[in-house]
């Protein structure tokens, strides 16, 4: 975390918790002649840009010195803010992740890397406990139920520095939807763009944005309330906004999180192709 953030503390934390961190200093007790100090340091191994982790239900992406985890199956229900800490679609070393500051609206919810749904326009639900999860190649498939009459199957696909999201939504009720990209620090000064089908924001901390592959939704950059993100005190959050009637719907988008600058701008102008998945099971 980038500043004091009490919401990150868990119920199992105690005055003795720093003991575990102090274990990292144990090698200092080894003599100078020990192999720990004398062994030659080999070069770091080359790391693949994408690493699928089927047993963890996750896919790792590496690009431009940062790592993004696409998450599908994490054990989290027993911790505080478990959905935000473990059940978001993606976690980035550059952008961190956000926790809600309240129960009302998008500014309080700070729904980065999530598909948030509401049946009243104010109170939103997200993926909390993933159901059946599969990893095939660079793609995670997961089914979840924000309400008993709403079933969502989500596909997350790595395409560094982008990732692709596809959602099949079968709903028995009308829904408001808000799908967030990564939250970026807005304090150093930020440029933002939002229009039909896309939203992005960029500044010294990085460039984040998402594009609706079908043009069904409207782009918006949400100013999340202060103290929601673990790295930056105040953030802006590119978001796609939409509404659904009862029935079956497909939502697809591509999401970018990278460094700002010429390379980031070039990446934004080259979004990956998003395959049509209507009719998939």
pLDDT tens, position by position, 195-241: 999 999 999 999 999 999 999 999 999 999 999 999 999 999 999 99
Give the count of domains, the chain: 1
Instruction: Specify if 135 maps to a domain.
Output: yes
Instruction: Specify if 8 maps to a domain.
Output: no
Looking at residue 115, which CATH number applies to its domain? 2.70.98.70
Going from the C-alpha of 170 to that of each of 39, 147, 212, 225, the distances in angstroms are 58, 11, 19, 31
- pLDDT score of 32 more than 90: yes
Instruction: Specify if 12 maps to a domain.
Output: no
Instruction: Specify if 44 maps to a domain.
Output: no
List the domain range (segments joined by +) for residue 202. 50-268
Instruction: Specify if 198 maps to a domain.
Output: yes
pLDDT tens, position by position, 67-101: 999 999 886 778 888 889 999 999 999 999 999 99
DSSP letter for 73, please.
-
Number of separate helices (H) and strands (E) present in the chain: 5, 17
Instruction: Specify if 184 maps to a domain.
Output: yes
* Model pLDDT, residue 6: 82
Identify which has the larger pLDDT, 101 or 20.
Answer: 101
pLDDT confidence of 148, banded at 50, 70, 90?
Answer: very high
Instruction: Specify if 43 maps to a domain.
Output: no
The residue assigned the tokens 């080259």 is 270
Which of 51-55, 58-62, 277-281 has the weakest average pLDDT?
Answer: 277-281
Instruction: Specify if 256 maps to a domain.
Output: yes
Q: State the burial class of residue 279 (Cβ atoms within 10 Å of its Cβ: 0-12, 13-18, 19+).
A: exposed
* Model pLDDT, residue 277: 63
User: What gap in Å lies between CA 62 and CA 106, rounded to an integer?
Assistant: 29
* Model pLDDT, residue 75: 67
């Amino acid at each position: 975390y980038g500043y004091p953030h009490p919401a990150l503390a868990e119920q199992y934390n105690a005055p003795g918790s720093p003991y575990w961190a102090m274990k990292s200093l144990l090698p200092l007790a080894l003599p100078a002649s020990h192999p720990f100090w004398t062994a030659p340091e080999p070069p770091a191994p080359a790391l693949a840009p994408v690493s699928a982790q089927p047993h963890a239900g996750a896919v790792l992406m590496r690009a431009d010195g940062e790592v993004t985890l696409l998450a599908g199956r994490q054990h989290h229900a027993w911790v505080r803010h478990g959905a935000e800490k473990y059940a978001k679609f993606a976690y980035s070393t550059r952008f961190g992740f956000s926790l809600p500051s309240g129960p009302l609206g998008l500014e309080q919810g700070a729904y980065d890397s999530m598909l948030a749904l509401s049946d009243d326009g104010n109170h939103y639900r997200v993926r909390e406990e993933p159901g059946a999860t599969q990893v095939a190649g660079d793609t995670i498939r997961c089914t979840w139920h924000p309400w008993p009459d709403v079933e969502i199957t989500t596909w997350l696909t790595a395409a560094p520095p982008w990732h692709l999201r596809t959602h099949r939504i079968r709903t028995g009720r009308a829904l408001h939807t808000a799908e967030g990209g990564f939250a970026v620090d807005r304090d150093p000064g930020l440029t933002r763009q939002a229009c039909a089908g896309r939203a992005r924001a960029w500044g010294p901390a990085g460039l984040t944005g998402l594009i609706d592959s079908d043009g069904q939704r409207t782009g918006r950059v949400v100013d999340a309330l202060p103290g929601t993100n673990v790295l930056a005190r105040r953030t802006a959050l590119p978001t796609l906004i939409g509404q659904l009637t009862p029935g079956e719907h497909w939502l697809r988008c591509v999401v970018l999180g990278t460094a700002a600058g010429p390379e980031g701008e070039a990446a934004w102008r080259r979004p990956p192709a998003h395959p049509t998945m209507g009719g998939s099971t």
